[in-house]
A and B are shown apart, each in its own frame.
Chain A
Amino acid sequence: MDADLVIRAQQGDKGAFALIATQTANRFLAVARRILRDPDLAEDATQQALLSIWQDLPQVRDPARFDAWSYRLLVHACYAEGRRDHRWAPNLRLLPVDQSAADDDLSSVVDRDQLERGFDRLPIEHRAVVVLHHYLDLPLDRVAEVLGIPVGTAHSRLHHAMRGLRAALDADARPPVREVAR
């Protein structure tokens, strides 16, 4: 993020913050959706994170560390959303209409379903590591910085998460049953 924008936003420049938010929001939403696996909660978390950035920005001492700091706020917002009591939730998965299984590296749709189920079973802290590392391409030392955890803990969480996902793929050898989004 442009340090000048960050400094201006720190000083209360709403226009500067608007530019930051515009550059950030889509990526935040994408990350939140992957951590939370729920579009509604992801929007809430993104909104919370952006407002938190605006509110707490004056307390950031090093604008160069804005990206890591802002992702930390987002992940914490995801944690908060993920821990809310959800007494009902529609079991709805939106699959791209025109996407066939051959479009990606997955061998079949059932792999995706199994991955989703396996991912849903992971602790949200592990999901965050997976998303930051494998979706945002952050090296694990940066992941640790974002999350405020030791690098070893980041490694451990990633290891356990990947093992859980592997188990999810290995455990279910049933024929593919595609759940069509409404």
Chain B
Amino acid sequence: MSAERDMTRIVRSWLQVDEYESADRVLDIVLDLLDTTPQHRSAWPVRRFVVMNSYAKLAIAAVVVVVVAIGGLALLRPGESSGPGGAPIATPSPTPSPSAAPSPSPAASPSTIDTTDWVPFTSDRYGYTISYPPTHSGMPGSTKSAPTFVAQAQRDFAFGTDLWERSAGGELATTPLDWIVLGPDGYQIGFWGFAATVPVGTSVDDIISQGVGTRDPPGAPFPACESEPIMIDGQPGRFHVCGDSVSIAVVTIGDRAYVFVEGRGSVEKDLMLAQLSTVQLPTP
């Protein structure tokens, strides 16, 4: 009996060990989602907000790295950017690099999904328009979005705390993401997008090479990525699919890079291509 009491004491003591356990991040997300999370919907099964595997989370972290890299590129060329989040101040280059754009063909196969009844979402922050299925809904960008989904352990594991904290701390501000959420099949974050100012002439391959596809975390079986050219609103871009974890499309116009990400990779490739086919980019 004494040994049993000792064991109980040991276990209780072990469970009570204090760790940093603030739920502020989770709380912020939940409260942000109340407006788009209805009560009393018998036909609406209770779902979790984010159903993404670890690859997808890593990929999001990679996208954040892309953002940071874009910010870094912009900072290295301070005369050509207006800072994060705001409207760009374009500085036309008299001699844009001929390597800035990828080869326009062969492009990704056009989607066969009918998008005629899809709902347009126009990003107030970035100016692009994209349509999504009526089973989804759109959310404007939030500065909370990017840091929310990358756990500390994954940040440390994949990309290093220093890089992230410089980003989260404001030295290189994190770019807010627009969301298309509330997907119909058990996951709710389906798509997100953003834009950032880059030095004129920065190619989509340059942008992708800063993040997704070339930052396989050491020791992690990050899926192989396949890349193909794509036309987005008449502009040549790059479509990048990493297994069933993530797909990312990048297109640049002048000093502006537009990045669209979908969280299930090859599983939702057709849906992603259909969404990309509806993109309308702002006039530079």
Contact = CB atoms under 8 A, between A and B. Distances in A.
B54 A96 contact: no
A52 B34 CA distance: 11
A3 interface: no
Contacts of A135: 12, 15-16
Given A18-B31, A104-B13, A106-B10, A90 B23 contact: no
A55 B153 contact: no
B21 A29 contact: yes
B38 interface: yes
Nearest to B222: A88
Given A26-B21, A26-B23, A99-B17, A90 B39 contact: no
Interface string B208-231: 000000000001110000000000
Which label, helix, strand, loop or mixed, suits the secondary structure of the B interface? helix
A141 interface: no
Contact of A48 (B14, B27, B48): B48
Interface string B141-185: 000000000011110110000000000000000000000000000
Contacts of B16: 104, 135
Contacts of A84: 53
A40 B154 contact: yes
B26 A166 contact: no
Nearest to A163: B7
Contact of A47 (B17, B18, B41, B49): B49
B53 A87 contact: yes
Interface in A1-49: 12, 14, 17-18, 21-22, 25-26, 28-30, 33-34, 39-40, 43-44, 46-48
Contacts of B54: 86-89
Contacts, number: 144
A128 to B, nearest CB: 12
Contact of A131 (B15, B40, B153): B15
B55 interface: yes
Interface centre among B8, B19, B26 (most CB of A within 10 A): B26
A115 B26 contact: no
22 contacts: A18-B31, A25-B26, A26-B22, A40-B151, A43-B25, A46-B23, A50-B27, A51-B33, A56-B39, A87-B221, A88-B219, A94-B19, A96-B19, A99-B18, A104-B16, A106-B14, A115-B10, A115-B14, A135-B12, A162-B7, A169-B7, A169-B10
Interface of B: 3-4, 7-27, 29-31, 33-35, 37-41, 44, 46-50, 53-55, 57, 151-154, 156-157, 219-221
A134 to B, nearest CB: 5
A40 B152 CA distance: 8
Given A47-B26, A54-B30, 4 more contacts: A39-B152, A48-B47, A51-B48, A88-B54
Contacts of A56: 39, 46
Contact of A105 (B13, B38, B48): B13
A154 interface: no
Contact of B40 (A18, A58, A165): A58
A64 interface: no
Given A96-B18, A162-B11, A28 B39 contact: no
Interface of A: 12, 14, 17-18, 21-22, 25-26, 28-30, 33-34, 39-40, 43-44, 46-48, 50-52, 54-58, 77, 80, 84-90, 92, 94, 96, 99, 104-106, 111-112, 115, 130-131, 134-135, 162, 165-166, 169, 182
A44 B22 CA distance: 14
Contacts of B19: 33, 94, 96
Given A39-B153, A88-B221, A47 B11 contact: no
B48 A21 contact: no
A6 B98 CA distance: 63
Contacts of B53: 84-85, 87
A28 B27 CA distance: 11
A55 B11 contact: no
B156 A182 contact: yes
A46 B26 CA distance: 7
B23 A29 contact: yes
A55 B21 contact: no
Nearest to B11: A134
A51 B30 contact: yes
